[in-house]
Amino acid sequence: MNPHYIRMHQDDNVAIVASDGGLAVGARFADGLVLRERVPQGHKLSLVDIACGAAVRRYNVVIGHALRDLPAGSWVHERVLQMPAARGLTDLPMATAQTPPLPPLAGYTFEGYRNRDGSVGTRNILAITTTVQCVAGVVDFAVQRIKAELLPLFLHVDDVVGLEHSYGCGVAIDAPDAIIPIRTLRNISLNPNFGGEVMVVSLGCEKLQPERLFPPGTITIADQRGVAAASAPLDVVCLQDDAHVGFMSMIDAVLRQARVHLERLNQRRRETCPAAELVVGVQCGGSDAFSGVTANPAVGFATDLLVRCGATVMFSEVTEVRDAIDQLTARAVTPEVAQALVREMAWYDRYLEKGQVDRSANTTPGNKQGGLSNIVEKAMGSIVKSGTAPISGVLAPGEKAHQRGLLYAATPASDFVCGTLQIAAGMNLHVFTTGRGTPYGLAPVPVIKVATRTELARRWHDLMDLDAGRIATGEASIADMGWELFRLMLEVASGRKTWAEHWKLHNALVLFNPAPVT
Ligand code: CA
């Protein structure tokens, strides 16, 4: 293929090299531009002479100022760019975009599991909630036994998952921010993929007592019409109970309770549900300069399709949207929603300040090697996942979504922390884009992984579910890939396994605990 670059906006003065393997000095583009130095794939070149101190624009946004003269055809990387300061959180455009709602899209369905509370699962999984890390080894042991001895008897149940984490004791549980890990764990246990069957394994002496995790009324049982009628008694196996003599007594108790829940889960069958019942969390990880060119725009297109179907889509990752806050507040449906966005950004600014860093601590060595010079450039590529719909709601970390449309769920960008919080928000399907490559997976929810480059999709042919690199090579348009992803989402929601599910690749649940550890 002839040397070619990709420019995101007509006012940009840099573009990225699209050619596999990068381009050598002297490479000549169709418009006559000649490279003055070697530029790796995904890295930027100057399209015009950029003087020292001048603004460097990508996505029609200033991603930095030149630290030296960059004549046309120069390699523009993080060492020749001064990163701009973060935009302040005052004088933002609040709900000014006035984007009309997208036209509805009807007729798309998937086969899901309807729950008593009205939510819909895409998998039928028994979850065992733990109140504290102390019980993790015992629960692991019990889960292995359940998989070997019980699951084969309950053919309509997909899996059993121990919800293990590092929280629960040795923590300042009355600190204001402790609400975040506690409600996260509570809401994870109530994820639609677990069918409302909550069982808990507790140690006994821990700070996070089962009644604190699930206050009365949190778990309801439905009457025959499916209306929430009464508070269900909490099913807890407490390891320190005097009744347990020896380890096997604990294991037997967990298996006995698991069987009760498995019998109920096993009665469930998939039924046709409108695409509106999907709750999709979108995320990127191991990003490169192609993330914002191929995979994330395809996700953004699919996000619009889902919102048009009446579904819920969440985008997240505070440090990866912080530099685009003015675009997001403008897109909010009301000034109140815009204000909630500002509230979450301000909270996170203070959280980072406490650690004496700012949002620029986000970028990784791999991001930079992949061509992303700084967090501003990374953020512009990241927010593309949100598509074009108005932002109709904001969730603080660990909160559960109670409305449809495009939501901003405030989470750290860290892949497994973000994934954990999106599970708590009620996500029943996860879409994850990657440029550098990560074998990421979550046990409670299927994860569709989208590669930003064809080279990665080929090398990791049995880990990546979709190759969005075809957008860069011109084989597919963003709309083509968006539709392909949308259809794949409906299939996966209906039971088709992702590669991560095929290999059973699961990252740990990582609760976000901004409160002190004691
Ligand atoms: Ca991430």
For the chain, what are the domain ranges? 1-84, 110-270, 287-503
In the 3-class helix/strand/coil scheme, how is 372-393 assigned residue by residue? CCCHHHHHHHHHHHHCCCCEEE
CB atoms within 5 A of ion ligand 1 belong to 283, 285, 413, 415
Q: Say if residue 291's pLDDT is above 80.
A: yes
Q: What is the pLDDT of residues 43-68, one digit of tens each?
A: 999 999 999 999 999 999 999 999 99
The first and second tokens of residue 294, run together, are 């191929």
CA 377 to centroid of ligand 1, rounded, Å: 15
Quote the ligand 1 centre to 356 CA distance (angstroms): 21
Average pLDDT over residues 278-301: 95
Contact 301, 449 (CB under 8 A): no
Q: What is the pLDDT of residue 20?
A: 84
Task: Report the residue count for the chain.
Answer: 518
Q: What order of strands is seen across the sheet that includes strand 120-121?
A: 120-121, 109-114, 271-274
* Bridge partner residues of 377 (DSSP): none
Residue 225: the pLDDT is 53
- Mean pLDDT, residues 103-107 taken together: 97
How many Å lie between the centroid of ligand 1 and the Cα of residue 217? Answer: 34
Give the pLDDT confidence of 147-168 residue by residue, as tens digits. 999 999 999 999 999 999 999 9
Q: Which two tokens stand for residue 101?
A: 């709602």
Question: Which distant-in-sequence residues (6+ apart) come within 8 Å of 116 by Cβ?
Answer: 196, 220, 221, 222, 226, 228
* Ligand 1 mean position, distance from CA 29 (Å): 34
Distance 419 CA to ligand 1 centre (A): 8
- Residue 32 in this model has a pLDDT that exceeds 80: yes
Instruction: Decide yes or no: CATH 2.30.130.110 for domain 1-84.
Output: yes
Residue 64 vs residue 219, higher pLDDT:
64
**How many Å apart are CA 122 and CA 118, to the nearest integer?**
13
Position 329 confidence tier, pLDDT thresholds 50, 70, 90? very high
Query: For residue 317, how far is its CA from the centre of ligand 1 (angstroms)?
Result: 6
What's the rounded mean pLDDT across residues 65-85? 96
Mean pLDDT of 4-31: 93
Distance (angstroms) between ligand 1 centre and the Cα of 25 equals 34
Q: What pLDDT was estimated at residue 223? A: 54
Return the closest-CA partner of residue 380 out of 12, 20, 49.
12
How far is the centre of ligand 1, averaged over its atoms, from the C-alpha of 3 (Å)? 31
Backbone angles phi, psi at 46, to 5 degrees: -80, 135
What pLDDT is attached to residue 474?
A: 85
Q: How far is the CA of 114 from the centre of ligand 1 (A)?
A: 30
Ligand 1 centre distance from Cα of residue 413 (Å)? 4
Q: Is the predicted pLDDT of residue 220 greater than 90, yes or no?
A: no
Give the fold, CATH level 3, of 110-270: Rossmann fold (3.40.50)
In this predicted structure, the answer to whether residue 23 has a pLDDT above a threshold of 80 is yes
- What gap in Å lies between CA 168 and CA 131, rounded to an integer? 6
Q: Around 244, how many Cα atoms within 13 Å sit in the side-chain half-sphere? A: 17
| Residues paired with 15 in a beta bridge | 45
pLDDT band at 476 (very low <50, low <70, confident <90, very high): very high
343: left (phi over 0), alpha (psi -120 to 50) or beta: alpha
Centre of ligand 1 from the C-alpha of residue 415, in Å: 4
Among the listed residues 21, 41, 28, the one whose alpha carbon sits nearest the alpha carbon of residue 72: 28
List of E strands, 140-245: 159-163, 199-202, 220-222, 228-231, 235-238
Q: Counting Cβ atoms within 10 Å, is residue 254 exposed (0-12), middle (13-18) or buried (19+)?
A: buried
How many C-beta atoms lie closer than 10 Å to residue 54's C-beta?
15
**pLDDT for the residue numbered 232:** 74
CA 258 to ligand 1 center in whole angstroms = 33
Q: 10 Å Cβ neighbour count for 354?
A: 9
Rounded CA gap, 473 and 394, in Å?
A: 36
Beta pairing class for 14-17 and 5-6: antiparallel
**Could you tell me the distance, in angstroms and rounded to a whole number, from the CA of residue 282 to the centre of ligand 1?**
9
Distant-in-sequence, close-in-space partners of 462: CB < 8 Å, separation ≥ 6: 499, 502, 503
Q: What percent of the chain has pLDDT over 70?
A: 98
Q: What's phi and psi for 117, nearest 5 deg?
A: -85, 5
How far, in Å, is the centroid of ligand 1 from the Cα of 431?
11
How far apart CA 322 and CA 359 sit, in angstroms, is: 7
Does position 180 have pLDDT exceeding 80, yes or no? yes
**Gap between the Cα atoms of 344 and 57, Å rounded:** 27
Integer Cα distance of 130 and 139 in angstroms = 8
Question: Which residue's entry shows tokens 């395809």?
Answer: 298
Residue reference for tokens 């675009």: 327
- Tell which residue, 140, 174, 84, has the closest CA to residue 506: 140
Separation of alpha carbons 293 and 15, rounded Å:
11
pLDDT at 320 over 80: yes
Using the predicted structure, report yes or no on whether residue 227 has a pLDDT greater than 80: no
pLDDT of the residue at 217: 85
Q: How far apart are CA 349 and CA 341, in angstroms?
A: 12
Helices of type H across 83-168 = 136-145
Interhelix angle 136-145/247-265, nearest 10 degrees: 60
Mean pLDDT of the chain: 95
Mean pLDDT throughout 209-217?
Answer: 94
